[in-house]
Chain A
Amino acid sequence: MELGKYADTVLSTYAVSLALLIGLVVWTILRGQKIRKELRKIEERGHIDG
């Protein structure tokens, strides 16, 4: 495949966009897992206390 004289332009848009998208997905999932864990801890604490 040949991108010609615009290779840098095309490649950099794909690189930036994919980085942003993957970053968004990773951030979303990491945060989701963290909150899930914290919630479980608090729920268990509640059961012991109550």
Chain B
Amino acid sequence: MTLTVTDLSVTRGALPVLSGVSFAIVPGEALILRGPNGIGKTTLLRTVAGLQPAYAGSIAGAEDQIAYAAHADGLKPTLSTRENLKFWAQIFGVKDVTHRVSEALADFDLETLADRPAANLSAGQKRRLGLARLGVTGRPIWIMDEPTVSLDTSSVQRFAEVVQNHLQSGGSAMIATHIDLGLSGTELDLTSYKTAPQQLDDFDGAFL
């Protein structure tokens, strides 16, 4: 399923930050978002994930296709690694819960930590668990916001492999990141989409 974004404008705190963003992500490809801090990468990702409404433009092919991984991993400290994954698999209603969970554990080298409470994981291990969550959702489009934060070099390598496998099996991904993951796909620099400031005298409904 192709994700098509046309002429999208996104707002942060009622102010448009990016406008006229258009792209398409076909299965098997990844879109890497680039741009300086504060340009609106997170806002764009949240809008595409359906967490906030678009200011203008359209998003097609996103409904019930997206697994979203934010800065926060949504882990419960008192549940074990396996229980955390199992919960998300159940919430997303996949059929073979146990199988998918053990697959995801293997993908991110978490098998030895499977029964440890998430509270006792290191920051990098938590991040790996948060990313492993994407795999158990069964959703084809992965949207990731700075996924490699607090991962070491070998974990980043491993993560890149998992995403590459996901792409090869017909999935797609949209990633905001500063490092080069060597994935097949296109890069999109958001700097050119930055919304131009409006005229001050144009005192309209947005108070600007």
- A residues adjacent to B (C-beta < 8 A): 43, 46-47, 50
Number of interface residues of B (CB under 8 A): 2
B200 in contact (CB, < 8 A): yes
Main secondary structure of the interface of B (DSSP, over half): loop
B13 in contact (CB, < 8 A): no
Question: Nearest chain A CB to B96's CB is how many angstroms away?
Answer: 59
Main secondary structure of the interface of A (DSSP, over half): helix
What are 5 A-B residue pairs whose CB atoms fall within 8 Å in the complex? A43-B200, A46-B200, A47-B200, A50-B197, A50-B200
State A46–B208 Cα separation when bound (angstroms): 11
Q: Which of B156-208 contact A (CB under 8 A)?
A: 197, 200
Of all chain B residues, which has the CB nearest A47?
B200
Q: Which of B76-101 contact A (CB under 8 A)?
A: none
State A46–B200 Cα separation when bound (angstroms): 8
State A43–B197 Cα separation when bound (angstroms): 14
Residues of chain B within 8 A of A47, CB atoms compared: 200
Question: Nearest chain B CB to A32's CB is how many angstroms away?
Answer: 17
Residues of chain A within 8 A of B200, CB atoms compared: 43, 46-47, 50
Question: Nearest chain B CB to A3's CB is how many angstroms away?
Answer: 52
State A50–B201 Cα separation when bound (angstroms): 11
Residues of chain A within 8 A of B197, CB atoms compared: 50
Of all chain A residues, which has the CB nearest B200?
A46
Residues of chain B within 8 A of A50, CB atoms compared: 197, 200
Question: Nearest chain A CB to B78's CB is how many angstroms away?
Answer: 48
